[in-house]
Amino acid sequence: MTRKKGPALYELISAKPEQPKVAKTTEVQFNDDNLEHNVLAPGRSIRVSVGSIGVIAAVCIALIVISYTMGYRKGIAVTREDYGNRLFEELPSVALSEVSTQSQIAEIPKKQGNSNGKISSWGPVISDPRVAGYNYFTLMQTTKDGAVQLTEFCREKGLEAYVVSGNNTRLYRVIAFPGSVDRNDAVSIETRSKILAIGQQWAITNAGRGSDLKDSYSTLFNK
């Protein structure tokens, strides 16, 4: 009996089945070195040139200087405005009355006196008609001739004034009328306003020599 050609039965059973052929895929490899180089990670340093650092520092300094200058100017403007408002609020009533009456003192009605502004009822220039218990303004203490000159100037401007001998026989005081019982009453405020208004005119004269009578003071007269 002839033998069949081909593998035996036991060979077919023991042989492993062939795996199906699968097409090979192309694997794409990424360069990890290039990827990590462009990613910021903790501990990784950044390289900046010296020129860039200088430019950044200059820009920062310029911004700081500009901000400080603007803030400083704004602060000065606000401070000046606030100071002006406070100064206006703190002005005493006496100062306000002085400003309001200065324009009224420049011209004294002729009905109150004679042609040169002197009131006919006023006493002699060198006399002392003061009453005890009243406060009177002392405009200046000077020589007799200087006191007479200032007193006549005040009378021409409508302010009743007298030359009174001082404690020192060589010096004389210029006293303004009327007197007042209280240093802060309406009479005292009005007299003070007249003195300041006349003092501005006296200061520009040759005899005044810049003295504006702002240092005048009120004292109580007692015999």
- Of 67, 90, 113, the one marking the end of a domain is 90
- Please check whether residues 143 and 202 belong to one and the same domain: yes
Mean pLDDT of 151-161: 94
- For residue 104, tell me if it sits in a domain: no
Q: Does 144 have pLDDT greater than 80?
A: yes
Quick one: pLDDT band at residue 53, thresholds 50, 70, 90?
A: confident
Domain enclosing residue 68, as ranges = 53-90
Any idea which of 47-51, 154-158, 161-165, 214-218 has the lowest mean pLDDT?
47-51
Q: What is the pLDDT of residues 176-202, one digit of tens each?
A: 999 999 888 999 999 999 999 999 999
Domain count, the chain: 2
**Could you tell me if 137 and 73 lie in one domain?**
no
Least Cα distance to 180 among 190, 171, 172, 170 occurs for 190
Residue 191 lies in a domain: yes
The closest of 161, 158, 160 to 201, measured between CA atoms, is 158
Q: Which two tokens stand for residue 198?
A: 């006349």
Q: Is residue 106 part of a domain?
A: no
pLDDT at 219 over 50: yes
* Residue 170 included in any domain: yes
Examine the fold and report which residue of 62, 90, 118 is the final residue of a domain before the chain moves on: 90
Structural contact between residues 167 and 134, judged by C-beta atoms closer than 8 angstroms: no
Question: 73 and 152: one domain?
Answer: no
Of 11-15, 20-24, 102-106, 150-154, which one has max mean pLDDT?
150-154
Q: From 90, 113, 145, give the residue that closes a domain.
A: 90
Residue pointed to by tokens 């010096």:
171
Phi, psi torsion values for 176, nearest 5 degrees: -100, 145
